[in-house]
Chain A
Amino acid sequence: MGIKIENVFFTYQKKTSNSTLALDDISFAINDNDFVAIVGETGSGKSTLAQTFNALLIPDKGQVVVDDYIVSYKNRKNRKVKNLRKHIGLVFQFPEYQLFEETVEKDVAFGVKNFGAKQEEALQKAHEALNKVGLDESYYKRPPFELSGGERRKVAIAGILAIDPDILVFDEPTVGFDPSSAKDLMNMICDFHKNGKTIIVITHDMDLVRRYANKVFMMEKGKLVFEGTPSELFMHVRNYDRLDLPQVIKLALALKEKGMDIDISKIRHSDDLIEEIKKWRAE
């Protein structure tokens, strides 16, 4: 399932002196089974945009189309909107703060039940989702508040996963995690992608973009300023001081400056650069 964003505008606190234009004529498309990264500084509108995907926020102008659902001002009173959230799951920053049930399995089942499933079916889906995030049976009956921060985050993700949406949106999934746990989490998200889901990750982490995304959208002050592949982004962003390039790219750019003939768009991993250096040495 894909998403079409068409000329979307959104303003916070309209009609007050504090009103801010958060989304300024955004248009782009995300295709089925894409792994998309949305990047930009804090305040550029990334989170605001994500919230229009599942109708938490309604655009003032323009529309967001997800499968049959249209999120727009005209359609704002449509109560079927709730069903949209069955197909597109949004995982916020620090999602561990949304847990509230007495046990882990109940909390994960909560979302499934909200969309109509009965108790047994919901629990079953919950168990499946928990297994997918690496939490085994020993966790099912434990109270969520007993778990560590990392485990709680996995429970929260399982809670969205259990609903089995076609599209998963993650807002800064690895913030606060140490590099090893971050890697585990991203590998997990990669698995979801391999299983056919469309993945959208909002992030500041350029290494994440480099390693996992096949498409990148960059936002700045509410506008879309870049659309393309990660490699293209790194070439484009080189002149911006604002996003921190992955170190392998920085190294490649430094070598290129010295005169090495490197095609930056081919560099996704350290090994790609090693290959390029080997080639260069052979000349």
Chain B
Amino acid sequence: MHAIMPSMSKLEIKNLSFSYDQEHLVIDDISFAVEKGSFVCLLGHNGSGKSTLAKLIVGLLDKKGGQIFFDGEEMDKKTIKKLQTKTALVFQNPDNQFIGSTVEDDIAFGLENRQFPHDKMQEEINLFADSVNMLDYLKKEPISLSGGQKQRVALAGALILRPEILILDEATSMLDPKGKSTVRKVIDRIHKENPELTIISITHDIDETLLADKVYILSHGKLVGSGEPQEILRDRKMLLSLKLEQPFIYRFEKKLADMGINSRAETIEQLAEDIWASR
């Protein structure tokens, strides 16, 4: 018997716990809620449990304690298959999630699993390949693609299943700057064009969090902070204690404040404006 809660949250985590062996808790009593259509960042250092959390949410791992709710419906043995169709996960390693022998085969993989009708496949594939700017690469093999291109294909393959929640597990951490930039732009566009889509981005790159609606900070399996990035990331002491670095802009603002220049800028340009205006 599972509970239906009168909650408006898309995803709700309550007292979640997990460990691989019986001793060390990788996820330690975590609770938070994600609103529908929001872009949420899960920030944490390597080993903080971020990837484990992602796997728990999509049901790849079995929780040891706590509850996970999707639209108020609890995830358990009965509902897991159904709820799994609401989520999609893009992993970190571009090669190890590229299953098809060409771009179009890989994007089609999810459709095949869902028994999508054959005659409608080509159109869907073209649509989603285009949404990640890979329409010209449909027949290309993965060996000839860059990391950024492969990750975009992974995104297309995930989105084609029309998930309600898209989880990105450090999707850009193995890419070069060009790859990071193209993938981030695509994610940004996806977010803007799909206001109903909830995006959870797991990262250790603090600059990526500036785009989010909300940031949750993970450390050693515990949730140690949450809030809007603009507020929470200005707390340098807290970030340092968690082995995280403050975004440059906020760091520089602190130094300026010591000089008597007050700025609440969010971009380099705004910062330059504020400095110039202080003369």
Contact = CB atoms under 8 A, between A and B. Distances in A.
Interface of A: 41-42, 148-150, 175-181, 183, 204, 242-244, 247-248, 250-251, 254-255, 257-260, 270-271, 273-274, 277-278, 280-281
Nearest to B48: A178
Interface in B221-279: 243-245, 248-249, 251-252, 255-256, 259, 261, 268-269, 271-272, 275-276, 278-279
B46 A270 contact: no
Interface stretch (B3-11, B125-133, B172-180, B189-197): B172-180
A255 B244 contact: no
Interface of B: 45-47, 92, 146, 173-174, 176-178, 181, 204-206, 243-245, 248-249, 251-252, 255-256, 259, 261, 268-269, 271-272, 275-276, 278-279
Question: Nearest 5 A-B pairs (CB), nearest first?
Answer: A178-B204, A254-B272, A180-B243, A247-B248, A179-B245
A178 B173 CA distance: 9
A244 B177 contact: yes
Contact of B178 (A42, A150, A179, A250): A42
A150 B46 contact: yes
A255 B272 CA distance: 6
A42 B146 contact: yes
A96 to B, nearest CB: 13
Nearest to A252: B272
Nearest to B255: A274
Given A42-B146, A178-B243, A204 B176 contact: yes
Question: Which of A247, A260, A273 is most buried by chain B, counting CB atoms within 10 A of its CB?
Answer: A247
A176 B244 contact: no
Contacts of B268: 247, 250-251, 254
Contacts of B252: 248, 251, 270, 273
Contacts of A278: 259
Nearest to A207: B248
Nearest to B270: A254
A176 B244 CA distance: 15
Given A148-B47, A179-B206, A251-B272, 15 more contacts: A42-B146, A42-B178, A176-B173, A178-B46, A178-B204, A178-B244, A179-B244, A244-B177, A247-B248, A251-B252, A270-B251, A274-B256, A277-B275, A281-B259, A281-B278
B143 to A, nearest CB: 12
Question: Which of A176, A259, A260, A278 is most buried by chain B, counting CB atoms within 10 A of its CB?
Answer: A176
A232 B203 CA distance: 33
A277 B104 CA distance: 54
Nearest to A274: B255
Contact of A180 (B92, B245, B271, B279): B245
Contacts of B181: 244
A199 B279 CA distance: 43
Contacts of A178: 45-46, 204, 243-244
A37 to B, nearest CB: 14
Contacts of B245: 179-180, 183
Contacts of B178: 41-42, 242
Contacts of B47: 148, 150
Nearest to B146: A42
23 contacts: A42-B176, A149-B46, A176-B173, A176-B174, A177-B46, A178-B46, A178-B243, A179-B204, A180-B243, A204-B176, A247-B248, A250-B268, A251-B252, A251-B271, A254-B269, A255-B272, A255-B275, A255-B276, A257-B272, A259-B276, A270-B248, A280-B279, A281-B259
B244 A180 contact: yes
A255 B274 CA distance: 10
Contacts of A149: 46
B259 A274 contact: yes
Contacts of A257: 272
A175 B176 CA distance: 8
Question: Which of B181, B251, B275 is most buried by chain A, counting CB atoms within 10 A of its CB?
Answer: B275
Contacts of A248: 248, 252
